[in-house]
Amino acid sequence: MNAHLLILLPFAGAIAAAVWPGDRTRPWLLPAVGLVHLVLSCWLLVDPPPVEPGAWFAYDDLARAVLPAVSLLFLACATYGISYLRIRAERPNRVFVAALLGVLGLLSAGHQSRHLGVLWITTEGVTLAAVPLLHFNNTPRAFEATWKYLLIGGSGIAFSLLGSFCLGYASIHGGGSGDLTFHALAAQGAGLSRPWVLIAWVLLLVGYGTKMGLAPMHTWKPDAYGEAPGIIGAMLAGGVTTVAFTAVLRVRAVVDAAGAGDVASRTLLGLGLFSMLVAALLLLATRDFKRMLAYSSVEHMGILVIGASFGAAGTGAALFHVWSNSLTKGALFLSAGNIRRAAGARTMDEVRGMTSITPQSAAIFVTGMFAVTACPPFGPFFSELRVLRAGLEAGHGAAVGLLLGGLLLVFFGLTRLVFAIVDGRPRVVSTASVKRYPETASVILPPLVLLALSLWLGLATPPVLQQAWSAAVQSLFPGS
């Protein structure tokens, strides 16, 4: 019941937001729902409910291993959102708040979907619900970004639907009854028609990979992250990509059961390394720090699927990385939002010397940058270390070498851009024309807390999380 509450509560919040009369008080719904959601999901994390195998929605091991991270991220973004929406009081926020809560509800549903069709419906729903959030700024650039997001995201959705049908047909062709829950599909195992499973795998990987933002389907990402408000960027990078990743993991488990696990691993590894490399090269070229975050997200999605390709141990590491990536990326997006608003610009050509304009945000941004490039002792360092170790244990020396090289390039790219922004003397124009942006606690605390959580995750990973991750791996790789 509590598991269903996780889905229903945000929807109730969304409806409440849609009818709530006051623009000033409406944003408080965000943290209120976020808090209850977090409490619920943490409660379920500590005390996992029994899961009925044939259920369409359930707080199963995989949802348990990932969803609380989304919850945490949402609460931080929601808290930040109150002051953000106060600053942007000139824009009506009814649709924004309702859609954001809708996204949370659909994300909860997506993480908990155990049925192929339902999973597709929820991920598609997330894509659509995010559209009003993306063009909140109402600028031509925002519409351009939204259009590209819709077109590319829509094609991705179409591919994943086709892939879902193919997987369904694989089951029917193999004599299955047409039960499309992942449990039933995995149980059919080798009975699935192999050619159809392979076609389905490719299509689903392309479809959900588009949603994750894996190269070469990543092109919507920089535009969308660059033009959307910071909290939306954080939710997309930490929440929406995560649900797509769990979708890939669930499908992969079925493909594994059908005896095509090697193919799946190879394609994941190739796609992951390619994403890593593309992101690293683009990071060396970009001059816009919000687009930089998008490419960094592409890179981390690459790391996730590389981890997933390294078998059970790698998948466990990838689940760890989901957490560290979500939290750290959240801190980066929120502090970048502060810097962006204070500077009034987004490229390293226009923005300089942010340490003297917004010292606290700049400090969080730099620290977050070190965290996200896997400097110890933050979460990403440990999770990526685990990925590397899993790779070496699985005998993928060359891939690990490429991964390390990519990480080095990413480090160069990020430091180049970040220090160009925070260092130096503030531009005369920007200090004179832009009024000083007050760094109130409401805009500093959320990213700071996220960063602290990332640090905590690295230094002292709670045993309950370790246990949740290994349980999820156990459910995905029942043989190992």
Partner 1 sequence: MNSTLNLLIGLAMGLNLLALGSSRLPSVIRAMAVQGVVLGMLPVVITREFHWPVALVALVTMGVKGFGIPALLRRAMRAANIEREIEPFIGFVPSLLLGAIGTIAAVAVAQRLPLLPEHAGTLLVPGALATIFTGFVLLVGRVKAISQVCGYLIMENGIYLFGMLLLHSTPLLVESGILLDLTVGVFVIGIIVDRIQRAFDSLDTRKLTVLRE
Interface residues with partner 1 (CB under 8 A) are 115, 117-118, 120-121, 124-125, 128, 131, 135, 139-141, 143-148, 150-151, 154-155, 157-158, 161-162, 165-166, 168-169, 171-173, 176-180, 193, 195-196, 222-223, 226-227, 282, 285-286, 291
Query: Closest approach of Cβ 38 to partner 1, in Å?
Result: 28
What is the sign, positive or negative, of the torsion defined by CA atoms of 207, 210, 212, 216? positive
Query: Closest approach of Cβ 127 to partner 1, in Å?
Result: 8
Residue number, 97 or 443, with CB nearest to partner 1:
97
Residue number, 103 or 449, with CB nearest to partner 1:
103
Query: Closest approach of Cβ 23 to partner 1, in Å?
Result: 21
Give the integer Cα–Cα distance in Å for 339 and 421. Answer: 9
Please report, for residues 30, 81, 89, 130, the alpha-carbon distance to residue 94 in angstroms, rounded to integers and kept in the order given.
Answer: 12, 13, 11, 14
Query: Residue 438: in which H helix or E strand, if any?
Result: none
Query: Closest approach of Cβ 34 to partner 1, in Å?
Result: 24
Query: Closest approach of Cβ 192 to partner 1, in Å?
Result: 12
425 DSSP 8-state letter: P
**Single-letter code of the amino acid located at 328:** T
**Residue 286 structure tokens:** 């970009």
345 DSSP 8-state letter: -
CB 206 within 8 A of CB 96: no
CB 352 within 8 A of CB 271: no
Residue number, 190 or 452, with CB nearest to partner 1:
190
Query: Closest approach of Cβ 179 to partner 1, in Å?
Result: 8
Query: Closest approach of Cβ 362 to partner 1, in Å?
Result: 25
Q: Which residue has the tokens 């995989």?
A: 62
Residue number, 144 or 393, with CB nearest to partner 1:
144
Query: Closest approach of Cβ 80 to partner 1, in Å?
Result: 25
Please report, for residues 106, 291, 441, the alpha-carbon distance to residue 427 in angstroms, rounded to integers and kept in the order given.
Answer: 43, 21, 26
Cis upstream peptide for 463 (omega within 30°): no
Residue number, 146 or 315, with CB nearest to partner 1:
146
**Single-letter code of the amino acid located at 110:** G
Of all residues in the chain, what percent are helix, strand and coil, respectively (each to 5)? Answer: 80, 0, 20
Query: Closest approach of Cβ 115 to partner 1, in Å?
Result: 8
Distance of alpha carbon 337 from the chain centroid? 17
Residue number, 20 or 169, with CB nearest to partner 1:
169
Residue number, 178 or 463, with CB nearest to partner 1:
178
Residue number, 180 or 234, with CB nearest to partner 1:
180
Beta bridge partners of 57: 113
Cis upstream peptide for 478 (omega within 30°): no
Residue number, 152 or 421, with CB nearest to partner 1:
152
What is the sign, positive or negative, of the torsion defined by CA atoms of 52, 178, 263, 479? positive
Q: Residues with Cβ < 8 Å from 311, sequence gap 6 or more?
A: 265, 390, 394, 477, 480
Query: Closest approach of Cβ 410 to partner 1, in Å?
Result: 16
Residue number, 348 or 448, with CB nearest to partner 1:
348
Q: Which residue has the tokens 């990402």?
A: 221
Query: Residue 309: in which H helix or E strand, if any?
Result: helix 289-309
